[in-house]
Amino acid sequence: MTQVARPPRSEPGGSRGLAARVSLGRIFTPPSSEFVLIASTALLLTIFGLVMVLSATSATASGQFDTALKQGVFALLGVPMMFLVSRMSVAFLKRLAWPALILAVVFQLLVFTPLGVEDAGNRNWIDLGFSSVQPSEFMKLALALWVAYVLLRKQARLGIWHHVFIPVIPVAVLAIGTVIAGNDLGTAMILVLVLLGCLFFSGVKLRLFILPMIVGTGAVLAYAFSSEDRLRRITATCSDMSLYYGDCYQSIHGIWGMASGGIFGLGLGNSQEKYGWLPAAANDFIFAIVGEELGLIGCLVVLALFTFFAVGAFHIIRKTDDPFIRVAAGGITVWLIGQALINVGVVIGIFPVLGVPLPFMSQGGTALLSVLLACGVLLAFARTIPQAERGKVAR
């Protein structure tokens, strides 16, 4: 009988060494250009925002370091969390979609308990003792992940209207309704933008996309005009100086701040509007302080950073083959860029005052934390881009 030659046995140590080398290779794989672009612009905008919050609150001795310190603490928490979330797998983010939305809605409902705090007619805050938190900020990210996950499971049926609308529209209306119940029109508008952005990038047929867009726009307008006080503030013509001490006081001073800055600005820390003239100078009107102190050049730098951020995010949407990544990244991008454009439009007088903060830069620890977490999700998606490109090359 002839003996059959056996292949040489591989030593256990050799297989372990190969696995270790593969793991190290994955760790030290250079990040994609999208990852670098999104991470760098997010960090620059956050640092820029901390500087401007410190400058905008320096007019009062009591709030000079206290407010900026709180914002800095949230930044120190949010930046590591952003990179921690960036290490999460896409599969884990998919499993997180339902729990995240449920927790976000429950968290938002706490504003209607004794923990809730009302500010300027909006009941959208809860008091935790050491800080106030705005739960609706976390709902933006949760809604984007949830819609992306639901539409992923219906990918082959997006041409049928009831598969597109159910359960997306009823659940989204319920979630947004908890925000509207607190009279926060600005945040409700951003949540509608997130929903429409997810539907647009999911590949839903245009005729099916137009209907929710019309319904969403109509619902926002109906709510905006349902109150006489709200209608008066929205339709106020701020070119009429007779409304200076009324509904246009904040808008007029925001425009004056931008105008007085000129091209080069008055210099960092030299704003005049922050000395009690411009309400919410460190919050919704932080862009006016940028224009006054750093001029047109400073405003263009901020807009350029948001443009680079959008380029990196849209590259992820364009290059990925995963429908979940495309839809979730689309919703997050529409949220951040759309909110930035609305905030700038309010400051320069295109839109009425809506109470929408400037992402990364406005004072507000909850808003900053939610935005950095959303950036972490985008970075997690960006890590899949080199793999997707290698797959395309191989095919």
81 Cβ neighbours under 8 A, 6+ residues apart: 369, 372, 373, 376
Tell me how far apart the alpha carbons of residues 300 and 122 are, in angstroms, rounded to a whole number: 32
Q: From 382, 293, 286, select the one nearest 45 (Cα to Cα).
A: 286
Going residue by residue through the chain (395 aa), what tens digit of pLDDT does each one get? 445 555 555 445 555 554 444 444 455 567 788 999 999 999 999 999 999 999 888 876 555 567 788 899 999 999 999 999 999 999 999 999 999 999 999 999 999 988 888 876 788 889 887 778 899 999 999 999 999 999 887 776 666 666 778 888 899 999 999 998 888 888 998 999 999 999 889 888 777 777 777 877 787 777 777 776 666 666 665 665 666 666 678 888 888 889 999 999 999 988 888 888 888 888 889 999 999 999 999 999 999 999 999 999 999 999 999 999 999 999 999 999 999 999 999 998 888 888 899 999 999 889 999 999 999 999 999 999 876 555 555 55
Residue 284 within a domain: yes
Three-class HEC string of 317-355: HHHCCCHHHHHHHHHHHHHHHHHHHHHHHHHCCCCCCCC
Residues 6 or more apart whose CB falls under 8 angstroms from that of 197 comprise 144, 330, 331, 333, 334, 335, 338
Q: What is the SS3 assignment for 45?
A: helix
Asked if the structure places residue 13 within a domain, the reply is: no
The answer as to whether 8 is a domain residue is no
Q: Give the pLDDT score at 16.
A: 55
Tracing tokens 């309704």 back to the chain, one arrives at: 177
- Within a domain: residue 175? yes
In this structure, what are the phi and psi dihedrals at residue 323, rounded to the nearest 5 degrees?
A: -60, -35
Helix (H, G, I), strand (E, B) or coil at 118: strand
CA distances from residue 212 to 156, 203, 217 in whole angstroms, order as listed: 20, 14, 8
> What is the span of the domain harbouring residue 115?
32-394
Residue the block writes with tokens 């997810």: 198
Q: Is residue 170 part of a domain?
A: yes
pLDDT of residue 244: 65
Q: Which of 267, 386, 378 minimizes the C-alpha distance to 325?
A: 378
Cβ atoms 150, 168 nearer than 8 A: yes
pLDDT score, position 127: 85
Long-range contacts made by residues 207-214, C-beta under 8 angstroms, separation at least 24?
A: 208/158, 208/159, 208/161, 208/164, 211/161, 212/165, 212/169
Assigned token pair, 391: 């797959």
Give the total number of structural domains in the chain.
1
Angle at 201 between CA 388 and CA 372, to 5 degrees: 75
DSSP 173-202: HHHHHHHHTTT-HHHHHHHHHHHHHHHHHT
Phi, psi angle pair for 156, to nearest 5°: -80, -5
According to the 3-state scheme, what is the secondary structure of 232-287?
HHHCCCCCCHHHCCCCCHHHHHHHHHHHHHCCCCCCCCCCCCCCCCCCCCCCCCHH
With beta carbons less than 8 A apart as the criterion, state whether 388 and 321 touch: yes
The reply to whether 18 falls in a domain is no
Identify whether 17 is part of a domain: no
End-to-end CA gap in the chain: 47
Q: Is the peptide bond before 167 cis (omega within 30 degrees of 0)?
A: yes
Please, which residues have CB within 8 angstroms of residue 89's CB and are 6 or more apart in sequence?
380
Per the domain annotation, does 214 fall within a domain?
Answer: yes
Report d(CA 340, CA 356) in Å as an integer: 8
